[in-house]
Amino acid sequence: MSNVERQLEDIKEQIESEVPSDISISDVTYEGPKLVVYTRDPKTFAENGDLVRRLASKLRKRITVRPDPDVLSHPQEAEEKIMNVIPEEAGVTDLDFHVDTGEVVIEAAKPGMVIGRHGSTLREITQQVGWTPEVVRTPPIESSTVSNVRNFLKQEREERREILERVGRQIHRQEMSDDEWVRITTLGCCREVGRASFILSTPETRVLIDCGDKPGAEGEVPYLHVPEATPLNSLDAVVLTHAHLDHSALIPLLFKYGYDGPIYCTEPTRDLMGLLTLDYLDVAAKEGRTPPYESEMVREAIKHTIPLEYGDVTDIAPDIKLTFHNAGHILGSAVSHFHIGDGLYNVAFSGDIHYTDTRLFNGAVNEFPRVETLVMESTYGGRNDYQTDQADSEDKLIEVIKETAEDGGKVVIPAFAVGRSQEIMLVLEEAMRNGDIPEMPVHLDGMIWEATAIHTTYPEYLRDDLRDRIFHDDENPFLAEQFNHIDGGEEERQEVADGGPCVILSTSGMVTGGPIMSWLRHLGGDERNTMVFVGYQAQGTLGRRIQSGWDEIPMNERGRNGGGRGSTLKLKMDVETVDGFSGHADRNGLMNFVRTMNPRPEKVLCVHGDESSTRDLSSGLYHEFNMRTFAPKNLETFRFK
Amino acid sequence: MSNVERQLEDIKEQIESEVPSDISISDVTYEGPKLVVYTRDPKTFAENGDLVRRLASKLRKRITVRPDPDVLSHPQEAEEKIMNVIPEEAGVTDLDFHVDTGEVVIEAAKPGMVIGRHGSTLREITQQVGWTPEVVRTPPIESSTVSNVRNFLKQEREERREILERVGRQIHRQEMSDDEWVRITTLGCCREVGRASFILSTPETRVLIDCGDKPGAEGEVPYLHVPEATPLNSLDAVVLTHAHLDHSALIPLLFKYGYDGPIYCTEPTRDLMGLLTLDYLDVAAKEGRTPPYESEMVREAIKHTIPLEYGDVTDIAPDIKLTFHNAGHILGSAVSHFHIGDGLYNVAFSGDIHYTDTRLFNGAVNEFPRVETLVMESTYGGRNDYQTDQADSEDKLIEVIKETAEDGGKVVIPAFAVGRSQEIMLVLEEAMRNGDIPEMPVHLDGMIWEATAIHTTYPEYLRDDLRDRIFHDDENPFLAEQFNHIDGGEEERQEVADGGPCVILSTSGMVTGGPIMSWLRHLGGDERNTMVFVGYQAQGTLGRRIQSGWDEIPMNERGRNGGGRGSTLKLKMDVETVDGFSGHADRNGLMNFVRTMNPRPEKVLCVHGDESSTRDLSSGLYHEFNMRTFAPKNLETFRFK
């Protein structure tokens, strides 16, 4: 008997001694980090409301209870009963019965009503039919990404179960080493913005954190080929802090290189990663570059994803527990906390953070049970990187839009599809509702519409009051009628260009390609129009150049046949920068994140920023808080314990 | 045709265009780092005295010219002619003809007389017989190590040529990467003394520097199993700075783990490594431990050794040149200078150094064409680690010996077989010759005699005036008649213990085993006797304990059958420490090494010292020279470029 099997036998005995004698336990297995308990008496189990929580706390594991397939009622019969239990207002749109596991996935417009107070409705479902219900939200705005991901996972259920079982055995394997150390190796994004990637390692385990590309420097990927990272198939886990491409773009590449293990991230990060990496491949193809991997690899990544919620403490290796916390940066973005060994050491990776609340998100979490080392982003870590208050920024943006409209011009805003676009949408919706700017169309081009749909699918990840507005008061601001999805291509753009005042939100956020190029052509030559930058423009991007005064823009259009014609656009439109909308904390926010952090870490590695920003932040933190701080280079290894 | 073959074709053409038309070149190959040129006209080649040097400088390679085997004269005939050319006083003891390479190895008591002024005699030999002569010294004191190594290499000639050819192709392979970086990973001896081991890496190449054990902490080996080091068979080269076990003990283990490449070190380091590692296995067996490898692996290490002389600039990888320089620490010890890329970066590893001249060696070299980073030992780097001047130390030692002898006692000195023993021998020989102490026997126990024999085999590595004394004036101090080799075991020791005043030099130097344990038993209980420590005593060793006042010594004797009996020895003998004889620079010497270093490095990594010593030295260097200094931990990686 292998060690894992012995372990499961022990656990089964423990559970049997814990549950009432009228509940029989037929099997206990690992599925990824979770312990799955099969019972022939699911209804009796469900009657003992507190039992699962008691077992979980005793065994220090996440537990799912499922009915033994032998005792399942017929799906058709179960469906009828389930629909009787759930109130009609819940808006159930789909029921999916998994005979192999005894689970039924219920898709509903209002998942809360399926769950009931403290899960009472769910328990009632089990008591009635024996099946274990799982609830997902019906996207309020139709999202092809969400439905594609869900359909794909449905279709791959069998392989996915195998993966989860394998991962489960890996996580719960016996520890081999009696040595103790904790190290971080930097594979990218040190003294630069882009290609975020780190390895956290112990004698037992290696975890890769993020694997992004570098905007404006195609081909500069993380150092995945150095011995610290290879062979990739011996990595224990990959953790993705959020879906932006400078953190996620090369996650699918790992599967091409032989990685076959789990990707841990939040559910919205999984879906957004799918959206953004597929677009990344599209863009590469359109620009005539060979994409680093095929779309098949994106599917592999999604298939291997184990979604975690904020606050779930999850075993990802024999000696590492991972917990995600809200990072305030984009939907699903997570500060990733690693608890290593049995109280040996704790490391938090900030990922990208926003310290204060924004319209979309609560500010980043900086309270942890323990943390000795913080790896922190430094995008705006420079000594003078102070941003305008968002209220002032909003006033400025509204002013620019008002003036441009009064001149009969149009405002075009290059924005990341994910994050800043939705923040600006909320600003515009409110300003129009309050009459601060005249009602006018707001056109959403590129993937912004789709990204917005994903936001509305996961309101739990949005700021408290926004979530309440969307789901309790039924006044979803993203559904306001000003918002128009540009889905008619060049023709529609031409119409918009020929029409009256309006606002256009378009990707890419750094003007490196995508429909924004088309808008430049349509609107760039007219001095009545205004381009407004609302996000960070990396070195080497066209956005950065326009921002710093370039007005002769080379326009290379590539036809479908790959041929290109070059021309130059004389930029006459106004160029404005409104800098308070960044998804990143500014210098102040970063310092405050550490100042109010509880507990305060002993060491901080300042990464994810230009060389001067990381050095400035490192020295600022050292002088203000007298902690050990570093501005690492790529390819260095730090040992903490 | 492979890239290396194309390269050799090109080189052959270049050589052909360079040599006079009456010299035909039949083949050009790599043997390790050397380029070997075969000619059908060795005699004509030898007549053009300057030709080899001109070719070497043009091709920037080390060049050996050999006769095409087809044109060789018969060995018997050649032998006669060779003996006619070499003056009789040269004392030739062996001629060994290698028909496959056209080389003849001449072993002689006075190699200088075989070589002749600027190599004139060697050239005459080639002109007369066509064979390429190589000269080695007949050990003036018979050394079983030297003769074993030479015989073994003779016997393994064929496999060795294959190894050298393979290594040659590896070294001269085409560079693959257009990335540029230089890194050092610490695998041991950081914030500790012992288990020295580093990896120097570039995108192209990985070199392991040293691989030692940790005295007083069996089992604590370098971190060879971390990804930075594995797989060992993909390492390009191993460089050994000197033969002490804390640098060399686990070199043979590399071959057990699959390494199959070259070991670069000086010739005396190779022989001493053979001596010390075989003894290391013996000691482990005697103490009932399982040795980490079999003696077969020591032979593998010796077979894979490519000896280099001080000052030879040697290609060891497509992008790395290695040069050894005298380190002043022990016989053959080398400061190892790595020139990386084409002027990209330079790193010097001090190994263990002695800054000032000692009786045995010139002080460590600290002049280099370029050097940006220095990795420096810190054994005595602590802020108060100042040692007595050697002159004062010698006075003190002489005083102790005189007083002990006057009391009718004996002096026992635990000493490393290699280095300090010979230094002390020189002091004693001079003191007796000058009448500063009465003539008395000096008994050499353990491997000291053998180690001394190896010293006399390689006088080129000794201090100038000592070398001259040995080989020009025929007054080899090591042959003085006071010196007695204890080769009669316990019986002889008992006789010595029962006899009159004398000095005993015995291993191990830190009283961790070996014959010194027997001397403790024989002499420890008599208060007329004195134990004198002349070298560093590491934490955890019995030497350190005795030095700090322990006088109840547990004596565990293990019989041949593995059974043990324990007893306690009440130590009554005097214990003295005379600290000026260390082979290590003291705080002053380390600071001066850097102060006078030319050029001065930008960065210094302080390693090979207790935590406080490395920190003290790091901070001292920073404050005095305003350079970037570090006291790394094990398992860290620093990137320099």
* Residues of A whose CB is below 8 A from B638: 636
**Minimum Cα–Cα distance from A181: chain B residue:** B635
Q: Is B302 helix (H, G, I), strand (E, B) or coil?
A: helix
* Distance between A185 CA and the closest CA of chain B, angstroms: 8
A636 contacts B637? CB cut-off 8 A: yes
How far apart are alpha carbons B562 and A623 in whole angstroms?
61
Residue B115 has pLDDT above 60, yes or no: yes
* Distance between B84 CA and the closest CA of chain A, angstroms: 58
Helix (H) / strand (E) element for B557: namely strand B552-558
How far apart are alpha carbons A153 and A165 in whole angstroms?
16
Nearest by CB to residue B636, choosing from A227, A633, A638, is: A638
Q: Are B148 and B274 in contact (CB under 8 A)?
A: yes
Mean pLDDT over B225-250 rounds to 95
Interface test with B, best of A182, A183, A635 (most B CBs within 10 A): A635
Nearest by CB to residue B637, choosing from A181, A185, A230, is: A185
Other beta carbons less than 10 A from residue A627's beta carbon? 15
Describe the crossing of helices B420-433 and B390-406 by its angle, rounded to 10 degrees: 70
- A vs B, Cβ pairs < 8 A, gives 38
Nearest by CB to residue B636, choosing from A201, A633, A639, is: A639
Nearest by CB to residue A636, choosing from B230, B634, B638, is: B638
Give the start-end residues of each E strand in B128-178: 132-137
How far apart are alpha carbons B15 and B2 in whole angstroms?
20
Residue A475 identity (one-letter amino acid): E
Render pLDDT for A243-255 as a digit per residue (tens, 0 to 9): 999 999 999 999 9
* Distance between A229 CA and the closest CA of chain B, angstroms: 8
pLDDT of residue B556: 65
Q: Does B183 touch chain A (CB under 8 A)?
A: yes
* Residues of B whose CB is below 8 A from A201: 227
Residue B563 has pLDDT above 50, yes or no: no
pLDDT of residue A361: 97
pLDDT of residue B560: 38
* Residues of A whose CB is below 8 A from B637: 185, 228, 635-637
A635 contacts B637? CB cut-off 8 A: yes
A636 contacts B185? CB cut-off 8 A: no
Q: Confidence band (pLDDT; 50, 70, 90) for B1?
A: low
Q: Which of A411, A428, A570 is nearest to A506 (CA)?
A: A411
The list of chain A residues with pLDDT below 70 reads: 1, 473, 556-566
Q: Confidence band (pLDDT; 50, 70, 90) for B215?
A: confident
pLDDT of residue A469: 86
Structure-token match 């070991």, residue found = B263
Mean pLDDT over B48-77 rounds to 89
How far apart are alpha carbons A367 and A373 in whole angstroms?
13
Q: Does B58 touch chain A (CB under 8 A)?
A: no
Alpha helix ranges (H) inside A361-463: 390-406, 420-433, 448-457
Q: Determine the length of chain B.
A: 641
Between B103 and B49, residue with greater pLDDT: B103
Radius of gyration of chain A (CA): 25
pLDDT of residue A318: 94
Other beta carbons less than 10 A from residue B57's beta carbon? 10
**Three-state SS annotation for B180-215:** CCCEEEEEECCCCCCCCEEEEECCCCEEEECCCCCC
**Minimum Cα–Cα distance from A190: chain B residue:** B639
> How far is C-alpha A156 from the geometric centre of its chain's CA atoms?
22
Q: Are B319 and B343 in contact (CB under 8 A)?
A: no
* Residues of B whose CB is below 8 A from A176: none
Other beta carbons less than 10 A from residue A117's beta carbon? 7
How far apart are alpha carbons A44 and A65 in whole angstroms?
12
How far apart are alpha carbons B378 and A25 in whole angstroms?
63
pTM of the entire predicted model? 0.87
ipTM confidence score: 0.81
For residue A26, CA distances in Å to A9, A66, B269 come to: 11, 10, 67
DSSP class of residue B131 equals: -
Interface test with B, best of A202, A230, A633, A641 (most B CBs within 10 A): A633
Q: Does B233 touch chain A (CB under 8 A)?
A: no
Mean pLDDT over B41-60 rounds to 88
* Residues of A whose CB is below 8 A from B230: 227
* Distance between B638 CA and the closest CA of chain A, angstroms: 5
* Distance between B637 CA and the closest CA of chain A, angstroms: 4
Write down the mean pLDDT value for chain B.
93
* Residues of A whose CB is below 8 A from B635: 181, 183, 637, 639
pLDDT of residue A560: 38
Q: Does B161 touch chain A (CB under 8 A)?
A: no
Q: Does B560 touch chain A (CB under 8 A)?
A: no
Render pLDDT for B456-466 as a digit per residue (tens, 0 to 9): 999 999 999 99
Q: Does B181 touch chain A (CB under 8 A)?
A: yes
Q: Are A504 and A413 in contact (CB under 8 A)?
A: yes
* Residues of A whose CB is below 8 A from B181: 635
For residue A195, CA distances in Å to A219, A256, A287, A315, A612 come to: 10, 18, 20, 27, 18
Nearest by CB to residue B636, choosing from A229, A633, A637, is: A637
Q: Does A219 touch chain B (CB under 8 A)?
A: no
Render pLDDT for B121-148 as a digit per residue (tens, 0 to 9): 999 999 889 899 999 999 988 999 999 9
pLDDT of residue B9: 94
